[in-house]
Amino acid sequence: MPIQPALDPARTAVLSMDMQSAIVSIYVGDQDAFTSRAAEVLRRCRKRGVTVIHIQVGFRPGLPEVSSRNALFVAVKNSPERQQLFQGEAGKIHPALGPEGDDIVITKHRISAFTGTDLDMILRAKEIDTLVMFGIATSGVVLSTLLDAVDADYRVIVIADCCADQDAEVHSTLLEKFFPRRGIVVTAAELLESLPG
């Protein structure tokens, strides 16, 4: 069933979030199927004129962006092994999902794609009011970004089968109970049906 009201490609952006090679390898079982679905979403969005934005996690050497009070990221700051997840090939956007053409890439240092980035400025400059989003993890970047987006009055659509989380119960609860109260939850196939061509 197509999304209602219909998507206006000129006023819509798709956010592909934290789809970096190491993160995908840790969180996703069937990587080929998962990345194929997400790649087709990005391909169709580009074809229809939807703004494509890639959100990635990244830090400067020594992680000066990370406070000792940040319980999640201080674990990365204190572990050279964990830092490697965000460096080199491991830290790059998965090759099946990488930026093309006019795609925009934003590097973030927190969980939400909005915190400390110029994402909102870019969206408002392009007069975008609808965000289609997916990413890893459902309980991390997707949840945090969705909450910020809803509070900023964006219309939000989450692509359920392009999200992943290590906690299956939390993943299901968010997609089935929490997100639908704040936006629209669809499958990749349903999103593609709403962007024919």
Whole-angstrom Cα distance, residue 105 to residue 169? 31
- With respect to residue 170, please indicate whether it lies within any of the assigned structural domains: yes
Q: Residue 18 corresponds to which tokens in the numbers above?
A: 């934290």
pLDDT of res. 1: 66
Residue 84 resides in a domain = no
DSSP assignment of 134-157, as one string? EEB-IIIIIHHHHHHHHHTT-EEE
How far CA 7 is from CA of 12, 103, 135, 181, 190, in Å, comes to: 7, 19, 20, 19, 12
Tell whether 182 is covered by a domain.
yes
Tokens of 158: 């989450």
86 within a domain of the structure (yes/no): no
| Distance between CA atoms of residues 92 and 105, nearest Å | 11
Query: In this structure, is residue 143 part of a structural domain?
Result: yes
- Supply angle C-alpha 132, 150, 49, rounded to 5: 25
The domain total for the chain is 1
Helices and strands (H and E) in the chain: how many: 9, 6
Q: Is residue 70 part of a domain?
A: no
Q: How far apart are CA 111 and CA 115, in angstroms?
A: 8
- Helix, coil or strand: residue 77: helix
Residues of the chain short of pLDDT 50, as ranges, are none
Classify residue 111: in a domain, yes or no: yes
Q: Is residue 100 part of a domain?
A: yes
Amino acid at 28: V
pLDDT of residue 60: 87
Question: So what's the pLDDT on residue 124?
Answer: 98
Give Dmax over CA atoms of the chain in angstroms. 49
DSSP structural state of residue 167: -
Check residue 5 and give its pLDDT: 86
156-195 pLDDT, tens per residue? 999 999 999 999 999 999 999 999 999 999 999 999 999 9
Please give the pLDDT value at position 185: 98
Give the structural domain span for 41: 9-58+93-194
CATH of the domain at 160: 3.40.50.850
